[in-house]
Copies of this chain bind each other. A is one copy, B any other.
Amino acid sequence: MNAPTNAINWSPTHQARALLLMLTEGGDADVWQRINHEGDIAIVDEVLTGRTKNRFFEKLRKRLPLPTRHLDELIAEQVVTAESTGARLIIPGDAQWPTQLNDLAERAPLGLWVVGTADLRLLALRSVAIVGARAATTYGLMLSRNTAATLADHGWLVVSGGAFGIDAAAHQGALDAGGSTACVLAGGIDVTYPRAHEGLFRAIAGQGLLISEAALGASAQRQRFLTRNRIISALTRSTVVVEAALRSGSRTTAREAEELFRLVMAYPGPVTSSASAGCHELIKSRLAVLVSDAADVLSLLGETEVAPEQIQLSIPAETDAETDVETVVFDQMRERKTATAEGLARDTGFPVDDVVAALGLLELAGLITRNQNRWRFRARHGS
């Protein structure tokens, strides 16, 4: 059994990385170059001792929250907040790190703060971004909600940005369908922005994941929304733009996705609706392909050929597939179609707690559903 997915790893590198997330902004290639050359710990040491006086280190030093040379003290608040909010820090190399983010190269996040029990890497393997305008129309909200629900229903993680409008409708659609959804925030995952989405974020954390590269407590600044978009694009297999004005953040997300060779899809709308103008522009410029329903989205995701029966759980390389509880439970469920946690524990020999954790993970991945204390393998819909 893997370590509990929500355990906090406070290795020296994680500590140094937590500080660097506080002192830098996302997508800064300079930081990665330094890390690759000198290593996190050496950089933090430079920042704290003040030995090297160059622009790079001065910029980082300016953002130090306390006049101290002790890393422990500097990240004490992050540690406390992480514990109280159930947040964990995942960095490249961790088992839960979604390796597709490495496609961003030197613009990859240094790490991600995550709230929620699911395995980010596992879920993100089968994820789609649904993004769009805050100023959405009823038409757009309906499309966003329905598309998210259908995708969630087919075991796809619906990723969005937690904003008003299309984003919120996407999260809600996935939640309503009993699927999983991830919200990539621009500010710290403990900062509720917009305030009105407090309940939504709580629901997402309970049924999916809150994700952010911003340090805990970091405010949702304008620039961070744009840099945040690259994470949404890179994390997911494909981006669906539901409604977008001509100049919009969704367009950035789409362009970013296209540059990363992710498929971008866009819904058309009436040409008389400015909320669809950005989508039409994406289609015209061949940045996006037109989709007219969730079936189109699934089809472009290759879903017509993949039934849940054929889905292979991706096992991190370092684990032993033969004894991995999730794989064993998945295989059991695939064969039995329905079972209880106790029955599975008895038959597989795994502790019941481990079986329950594995079932939760498979449920979040949309592969099984729960009805009271019975679990059911999910038959494919619509095919």
Contact = CB atoms under 8 A, between A and B. Distances in A.
Contacts of A267: 271
Interface stretch (A70-78, A88-96, A276-284, A360-368): A276-284
A100 B289 CA distance: 32
A290 B272 contact: no
A270 B270 contact: yes
Contacts of A271: 143, 267-269, 292-293
A139 B270 CA distance: 8
A28 to B, nearest CB: 37
A269 B269 CA distance: 5
A291 B292 CA distance: 16
A296 interface: yes
Nearest to A271: B292
Given A267-B271, A270-B269, A272-B139, A289 B284 contact: yes
A292 B272 CA distance: 8
A252 B172 CA distance: 41
Contacts of A293: 271
A48 to B, nearest CB: 55
A280 B290 contact: yes
Contacts of A296: 284
What class of interface size applies to chain A in its complex with B? 10 to 19
A369 to B, nearest CB: 28
A289 B280 CA distance: 10
Given A283-B283, A284-B296, A290 B270 contact: no
A267 to B, nearest CB: 6
Nearest to A283: B290
Interface in A169-199: none
Interface string A329-357: 00000000000000000000000000000
A262 to B, nearest CB: 18
Nearest to A281: B292
Contacts of A268: 268-271, 276, 280, 283, 290
Contacts of A143: 271
Contact of A284 (B272, B276, B280, B290): B290
A272 B143 CA distance: 9
A270 B140 CA distance: 10
A278 to B, nearest CB: 11
Find the residue from A143, A271, A276 having the highest chain B CB count within 10 A. Answer: A271
Interface of A: 139, 143, 267-272, 276-277, 280, 283-284, 289-293, 296
14 contacts: A143-B271, A267-B271, A268-B270, A268-B280, A268-B283, A269-B269, A269-B270, A277-B292, A280-B290, A283-B290, A284-B290, A284-B291, A284-B296, A290-B290
Given A139-B272, A268-B276, A268-B290, 9 more contacts: A267-B271, A268-B268, A268-B270, A268-B280, A268-B283, A269-B269, A283-B290, A284-B292, A284-B296
Q: Top 4 nearest A-B pairs by Cβ distance?
A: A268-B268, A271-B292, A280-B292, A283-B290
